[in-house]
Structures are given as C-alpha cells and as structure tokens.
A and B are shown apart, each in its own frame.
Chain A
C-alpha cells in the first residue's frame, strides 16, 4: 500500500493498493497502483473484492469473465497478532440461487502465505480468463517491486495439496504457498474444492499441517482457471512490535474470545474442539446429519476420552499467541508421539466425525486428513456425506452409492476418495445438488446452497442471513446456547446489529479470534492502525464500513436471483422439531415468520440505498 494521508475516511483516494492483473488466456501481466474509492477499499479483503464482483454481471461461475481475486487485508503481514489472512473471492460454483445463478463468495485462510504475499509488495492479484495449460504463479519480491510469472505446472498435476506444496517448497526458497488438490483439478465434478495454505509447521516438519480457505469452492475456481498453485516469495518483514501493539496483544490473549482457546496448561479451554463439552449438555452437538438423539455418543470425542489413545498437541499459527487448534497424532506404545494424523478443529471434527456417525478419534482424524489432502471444504464435504447417509437410512431398499450408513468408516472413506478424485460428482457438487437430484430436500443441511457449519440450525436462525460461510459471516451461532436469548426482538438485534460485524475480520486481515465478540470496530484495531500506518480513525467509521460491506453482500445475493423464500432453514428443522434438544424452540413457524419480517424490515430499508450499477 502507498499511503499519503492519515485520514483514510476523508481521503481514501490518497491511499493506493498495488494490483496485479493476470490475463491467463494471453499471458499478459499488468501491475498498477489503484487509488482507494472508500474505506472498504482501504481495509481490503471482501470489502474490496465484492465491490469489484458487483461491477460484473456473472451468471455462472465457470465462465471466462468470472475473475478470481486473491487479496489480503490492511493488517495482513503487519505486526498485529493473527494478521495472516488471505482472501479468495469469485462467483461461486457451489453457492447458487434456485434460479441457478452463482453467488458472489469469498473464503479466508491463515497460514503464512498471506504475509509472504503482502511482503512481495502486492496487495491484490486478479486472474482473468483461464489458462489452456496448467500453471502455477510465482509472485516474487525484487528490488524493482513485485514480479509475477506464470510457470508450467505439469509436474504438479494429480498431486495432493500437501505434495504440491512440498514439491514447490523444494524449488522456491523463502516462500509460502497456496495450492489446490485433486478435487480442484476436477472442478467439473467437484464444486467444493478448497485452497490449501502452507504453514511454518508444515514446511518444517514435512507433515500435512495445512490451513484452508475452504468455503464456496474457491479451489474449484482455481482449478477451472488451470492454476494449480501460487508461490509468494519474499523476505520476512517482521518489524519491531510497538508498545501500543504489544498492549493490544495482551488484551487479545487475555480477552474473552481468545481465553477459552488457549491450551489447558495455560489455563484455557483447549482450542475450538472444546465446543463439544459446552454443547453436549444441551444435546446440541450435531450427530447423524444434525439430528441429536439425546444420547452420550458425542462424548466419545471429548478430549478426556481421545487423550487416552492419541497424542494431542496444542498448536498456533505463525506469530500468534492464541493457540486455537490441536494436532492429533498416533500414540506409540511407550506413550510418545507417533505419526501425525490431522489438525483437530471443531468444525471438521464434528462434520467428518460425530455428524456422520464416526465416534472414534483416529477415524475422524483420517477422514479430515483425506479431505485436506484432496483439497475439499470439510464443511461442504461432511454435510453432503451426512445427507447421503441419512438418505440411505431412510431408503434401505434403494441405497445411494456404495450403500454407506452412519458410522460405516470404510465405505465413507471410499466416498471421500471418489469425491476427491472427481469420480463422484453427486457428492462433489454439494448437498443442494444431491438433494435436488434425489427429490428430497428437507434434510439437506445447506442454506442458499452453502452447507451449514457444525452448529445446529435449531440454535441459529441467523444462518439465513449469513452472506458467506454460515458461522463466519453471521456470528449468531452461539447466541441461544450461550445466552439463552429466545425472543424475536432480541434476535432481530443480534442479526441486524451485533453479529453481522463478524465479517469485518474478512476485510482487515485479522482472524476472528482477535476479538470475536466485538468485531473490528474497536479501540484495539484503531490502536493497531495508528501504530502501523499513523491512521486517525474512529471505531464507528470502521463499523460503518463493515456494515456497508455486509449489505453489499446481501444486495449481491438478491441480484443473483435469490428470493427471500430461500433465506430459510432446512425444512426438517421447522417441520419436525427435534425433541431431544434442551433449548427453547426458536425455529417454529411463528417465530421464523416474525423474525423474517422484522429482519427484512431493517435490511430492506438500507438495501434500497444501494445502487449496484453505481459501484
């Protein structure tokens, strides 16, 4: 970024971001400094990319005119803790309206690729058209500024995400990587392809310890464009951390959002996995396609039970003190750590474990590992598989695929492998596609074509208004369990005021655990911006920009043909309430109708002010 003002609100045009546009058809590469139009452009991430997507009328994701935008946030690569995010934006091959039009989508991931990308001197990379031959893209820092080069990727074809990255690691020093797996290569049959991002842990250990931009099929979009990987090569630029930022870091680590994620030995709750322990007393852990049965089966994946047979290691992202995730490895006979299996995070663990009837930690871990290596979104894959298993449970006389049932590990492995290799498009294209094909949509757990996260929809009617990943673009998923809020007016406030602000993190380059309860319109973020860029900005102005970006996302959905009737929970939730859930019923028809009306009343008034033609 080239910054010539201290006031990004009044003078965004005095802030320039460096964009590289690559025409994959002609091979032309153009690098230019672009003046920001508004604070959203300055912040970056989807706040900027959605304005660019709004300028194009795209009906279907797989077309030459649909760009793939890779960018970072203002604080990516800065000294601010968690500033590692990379964003991939495009019209999505998996998230589609009932009219069949692709929705604008972004996906975010950590790892060190984002920081390395920023340190090359680029802020944004836009891929136009598609390459005839498979390529990888080398982005490197030089004394003359960033350079971008397309290179043959024939040698990477058919390799897993991890093997692509390790192969490129051998060829490029001081670099980090973003790669697709076989799933993304088979984009015609897999629309849930993810983008894997390399980590320091991965490159050092040689284990498949990756991070992912999973949601919305951005890996499939990379595959469609015939880009198998991105390489960002630059020197590390770790500037000294100012006292102001150090103070913020202390607040982040001790703050309410991050405290429970800290390792148990540091007095924390032990990572995202600990959600199991909190939700199980309410019978709210998704099991067998989101239908808890009031039993204690989820407890088999409680940490205390898993630790008996497996080695668990707390882990953190590069330069992050939150330590949000865990690695699970085999345990040797002498109790020492054995072979690495997978990263144990709540969402993939549940959706490729308990929710498909797998209650053995090693088996769940191996399924996560398979999913990660083929490069699929663990949420979309898990939910589509759970739909298929549920279908088979309901139709023993007419079994789908290999006849897999809940808990049938070997057969489920086979489904995952076939889907990852592009040989099972009915799974690879997601639960909306499969359920419509089977003519039974009531128990397909997606909203607007995107599979739900591992929080029961019975606990979160806010899912309907999420504009990207269900729990990461509407932070209302814990509201009922955490606070017991069960009146319509409070939920209207939750959705239209408080929890939409979670999307701000996907603008600025920070992870949500920086301050998940407050968003980015805070003094902590203001202090970081002052320290890093000498910006003078009020938290309220940041909040305003986040809200405008959220509303733009909503407006874009409606432009892509979504009707308001598509902003609805899976029908089974409303029509067949689960009696085992020990929480107030906030998804009955009356509640939903009242919520619907009141939420749209708020949003409609603001949507009227958005003119997509003027963006």
Chain B
C-alpha cells in the first residue's frame, strides 16, 4: 500500500519533508516510525489523515501519516 509520510520540525533533518512510501498491508504507524528511526523521546504527535492517532494504529492504502515533535511550552 502507498502511505504519504509528512515529517515536521527536527524530524526533517537528514530525512525528508514529505514522501510517498510503500508498505505491506496492515502496517502500523509504529513500523514507519521505527524504519525512519524517529527518536521516541521527541515524538509528540501522530496524525493519520489529520486526526490524532496512536503509534499502533493500522494504516490503510492512501493514508497520510504526519509525525511531529513534542510541544511543551514556551
């Protein structure tokens, strides 16, 4: 299946802004997070098709996965 992966903030460093990636059916967001070596302690927000999601949520063909760093005050 095809998943559009969109990265934000420091996750873009040495990776990409947005890319279409091919994955096996029933892959979870966690699989992509692991493959991209996104640091767990910095990962704050996971969105699937614009909706807040969990790492173990299953993706479907055509989904957009957004990964954002933590938001903790200013």
Query: Footprint of B on A, CB under 8 Å?
Result: 254, 256-257, 259-261, 264, 267-270, 272, 274-275, 277-281, 304, 345-347, 350, 453-455, 471, 475, 477-478, 481-484, 512-513, 516-517, 582
Contact = CB atoms under 8 A, between A and B. Distances in A.
B45 interface: yes
Contacts of A517: 72
Given A259-B42, A482-B44, A269 B9 contact: yes
A347 B69 contact: no
B73 A482 contact: no
B8 interface: yes
B42 A268 contact: yes
Which residue, of B10, B44, B66, B73, has the highest number of chain A Cβ atoms within 10 A?
Answer: B73
A269 B74 contact: no
Contacts of A350: 74
Given A264-B13, A269-B10, A279 B71 contact: yes
Contacts of B9: 269, 274, 277-278
B1 interface: no
B68 A277 contact: yes
Interface string B16-43: 0000000000000000000000010110
Which residue, of A254, A280, A477, A484, has the highest number of chain B Cβ atoms within 10 A?
Answer: A484
A347 B52 CA distance: 25
B52 A483 contact: yes
A306 to B, nearest CB: 14
B66 A478 contact: no
B7 to A, nearest CB: 10
Given A281-B66, A484-B51, A453 B41 contact: no
Contacts of B58: none
A256 B10 contact: no
A259 B8 CA distance: 16
Interface of B: 6, 8-10, 12-13, 39, 41-42, 44-45, 47, 50-52, 66, 68-74
A264 B42 CA distance: 11
B45 A516 contact: no
Given A277-B8, A483-B52, A257 B13 contact: no
Given A257-B72, A471-B74, 8 more contacts: A256-B70, A259-B42, A259-B70, A260-B42, A454-B74, A478-B72, A482-B44, A482-B71
Which residue, of A281, A304, A454, has the highest number of chain B Cβ atoms within 10 A?
Answer: A281
Nearest to B51: A484
Nearest to A258: B72
B51 to A, nearest CB: 7
Contact of A481 (B13, B39, B71): B71
Contacts of B50: 582
Q: Is the interface of B mostly helix, strand, loop or mixed?
A: mixed
B41 A259 contact: yes
A272 B73 contact: yes
A256 B41 contact: yes
A278 B45 contact: yes
Contacts of A475: 73
A260 B69 contact: yes
A256 B72 contact: yes
Contacts of A482: 44-45, 70-71
B69 A277 contact: yes
Contacts of B13: 264
Nearest to B46: A484
A267 B39 contact: yes
Nearest to B41: A259
A274 B45 contact: no
A298 to B, nearest CB: 12
Which residue, of B9, B13, B51, has the highest number of chain A Cβ atoms within 10 A?
Answer: B9
Given A277-B9, A483-B52, A346 B74 contact: yes
Contacts of A272: 73-74
A281 B42 contact: no
B70 A481 contact: no
B33 to A, nearest CB: 16
A345 B74 contact: yes
Contacts of A478: 71-73
A482 B72 CA distance: 9
A475 B71 CA distance: 12
Contacts of B51: 484
A277 B42 CA distance: 13
19 contacts: A256-B41, A257-B72, A260-B44, A264-B13, A268-B10, A277-B69, A278-B8, A278-B69, A278-B71, A281-B47, A281-B66, A304-B12, A471-B73, A471-B74, A477-B73, A481-B45, A481-B71, A482-B70, A484-B52
A562 to B, nearest CB: 26
Contacts of A481: 45, 71
B68 A453 contact: no
Contacts of B39: 267
Contact of A278 (B6, B41, B44, B52): B44
Nearest to A454: B74
A350 B74 CA distance: 10
Nearest to A517: B72
A590 B70 CA distance: 30
Contacts of B8: 277-278, 280-281
